[in-house]
Amino acid sequence: MNFLMKTIRFTNLPGDGIGPEVMSVALEVLQKTGSIHGFACETTTHDVGGAGIDNHGNALPDATLDACRAVDGILFGSVGGPKWENLPPKEQPERAALLPLRKAFKLFANLRPGNLFPELADLSPLRSDVASAGIDVLCVRELTGGIYFGQPKSTKTLEDGQKEAIDTMVYRTGEIERITEVAVKAAALRNKRICSVDKANVLETSVLWRQTVTKLIHKLDPSIELTHMYVDNAAMQLVRDPNQFDVLLTENMFGDILSDELAVICGSLGMLASASLGTGTNSNGFPYGLYEPAGGTAPDIAGKGLANPCAQVLSAALMLRYSFGLEEAALAIENAVKETIRSGLRTGDIAQGAESVGTKEMGDAILSRLH
Ligand code: IPM
Ligand code: MG
């Protein structure tokens, strides 16, 4: 036995729909990567989302939360599905599992890389001359502030019988600064261009956002090319000419919307991973994080062995990179996925009607390309 072998500890929360199928591929990939790159995986599986509701009466059961507290990161599948669609919005698996997890682990920094593999350019809804250039944009979204969590947040009945609902958008300089720092670090590893997206022509929070971002980037790294864009324009520019962007930095709700737009122009949700990083450090000295594919639970193909495992596998790579500092291992996984796509192998979601393979074959192909 190798006593120097590093052990990485994380929970895996497969969730609903295709979650368990693609999670099992990701776990296999992690095991094999560990055997090549010298680390062991210690992981436990827990219910979340609809599975949490069905088995424990809670989309985020206490046992799941406790298990997550005891480790250094979370590999998350996906949650939700038709079975739970009629629950009140607050109890729906997506909201009742993800938002409390973000809050509990202070996962303030959401990184959503938008990459269009050149081999998959035809899957993008963008015009072919735009898509064929490939897409490589990183969306850095603030995840624990803004209108999602601001108080007051309530619905009441007024004296005249109407109902009134209130959401509050709040930002403090500290929240803006810490997400800006993440964007600066990310940009330093890319093309050093940040476009900060806001609505400073209307919103007070956006005025503060713009001032704070400008001041901090100037202080941290004046060599970064910083631009500002109103969110409505950014939504338009993203479909017109996505590669004008390198890093998009934005607040919670704008980031929610723009990251979906970025995902769809990249062609297949089955290929996109994301990372949500917390404040402080885990027992390895890296940020605690939650890693999840961008796509949903795909209930129509759940349990049939047809789902594309790439996004879940790429999420595992992000986990190795950000929460465990295993850059080489992360790259090995990313390359194995790239080579698999290059080899022409396709699951149904990216096959465009041509011959396709199932989850297991795709997974095995990735495993065989790991080195
Ligand atoms: C996302 C989702 C969530 C969000 C929902 C499910 C609460 O849309 O992760 O982008 O709005 O943040
Ligand atoms: Mg969203």
**Mutation test of ligand 1: which of 256, 262, 292 has the most ligand atoms closer than 8 Å to its C-beta?**
256
The pLDDT of residue 134: 87
Active-site residue, 291 included = no
Residues with CB under 6 A from ligand 1: 94-95, 98-99, 256
Q: Which of 222, 233, 118, 107 is nearest to 175 (CA)?
A: 107
Mean pLDDT in residue range 214-239: 98
Q: At 162, is the pLDDT very low, low, confident or very high (cuts 50, 70, 90)?
A: very high
Kindly tell me if the per-residue pLDDT of 192 is higher than 80. Answer: yes
Q: How far apart are the first and last CA of the chain?
A: 22
Burial of 190 (0-12, 13-18, 19+ CB in 10 A): middle
pLDDT in tens, 273-320: 999 999 989 999 999 999 999 999 999 999 999 999 999 999 999 999
Distance 256 CA to ligand 1 centre (A): 6
Kindly tell me if the per-residue pLDDT of 140 is higher than 60. Answer: yes
Kindly tell me if the per-residue pLDDT of 1 is higher than 80. Answer: no
The closest residue, in CA terms, to atom 9 on ligand 1 is 256
Active-site residue, 66 included = no
Could you give the maximum distance between any two Cα atoms of the chain, in Å? Answer: 74
The pLDDT of residue 370: 98
Cα–Cα distances (Å) from 55 to 59, 64, 93, 104, 341, in that order, read 9, 12, 13, 21, 37
- Of these residues, 54, 221, 260, 364, which one is catalytic? 260
The pLDDT of residue 139: 98
The pLDDT of residue 346: 97
Ligand 1 closest atom vs CA 95: 7
pLDDT in tens, 82-114: 999 999 999 999 999 999 999 999 999 999 999
Q: At 118, is the pLDDT very low, low, confident or very high (cuts 50, 70, 90)?
A: confident
The pLDDT of residue 117: 87
- Of these residues, 66, 122, 232, 300, which one is catalytic? 232
Ligand 1 closest atom vs CA 143: 12
Mean pLDDT in residue range 160-170: 98
Q: At 2, is the pLDDT very low, low, confident or very high (cuts 50, 70, 90)?
A: low
**Mutation test of ligand 1: which of 76, 79, 94 has the most ligand atoms closer than 8 Å to its C-beta?**
94
The pLDDT of residue 32: 98
d(CA 224, CA 216): 11
Helix (H, G, I), strand (E, B) or coil at 141: strand
Kindly tell me if the per-residue pLDDT of 235 is higher than 80. Answer: yes
pTM of the model: 0.95
Q: At 5, is the pLDDT very low, low, confident or very high (cuts 50, 70, 90)?
A: confident
The pLDDT of residue 257: 97
Provide the mean pLDDT of the chain. 96
Ligand with the closest atom to the CA of 274:
1
The pLDDT of residue 280: 86
- Of these residues, 198, 256, 288, 349, which one is catalytic? 256
Kindly tell me if the per-residue pLDDT of 3 is higher than 80. Answer: no
**Mutation test of ligand 1: which of 76, 78, 98 has the most ligand atoms closer than 8 Å to its C-beta?**
98
Ligand 1 closest atom vs CA 274: 9
The closest residue, in CA terms, to atom 12 on ligand 1 is 256
Q: Which of 99, 10, 15 is nearest to 49 (CA)?
A: 15
Query: What percent of the chain is predicted at pLDDT more than 70?
Result: 99
The closest residue, in CA terms, to atom 2 on ligand 1 is 256
- Of these residues, 171, 199, 288, 322, which one is catalytic? 199
Active-site residue, 199 included = yes
Cα–Cα distances (Å) from 27 to 33, 40, 43, 109, in that order, read 10, 12, 9, 24
φ/ψ (deg, to 5) at 237: -65, -30
Active-site residue, 260 included = yes
Mean pLDDT in residue range 8-36: 98
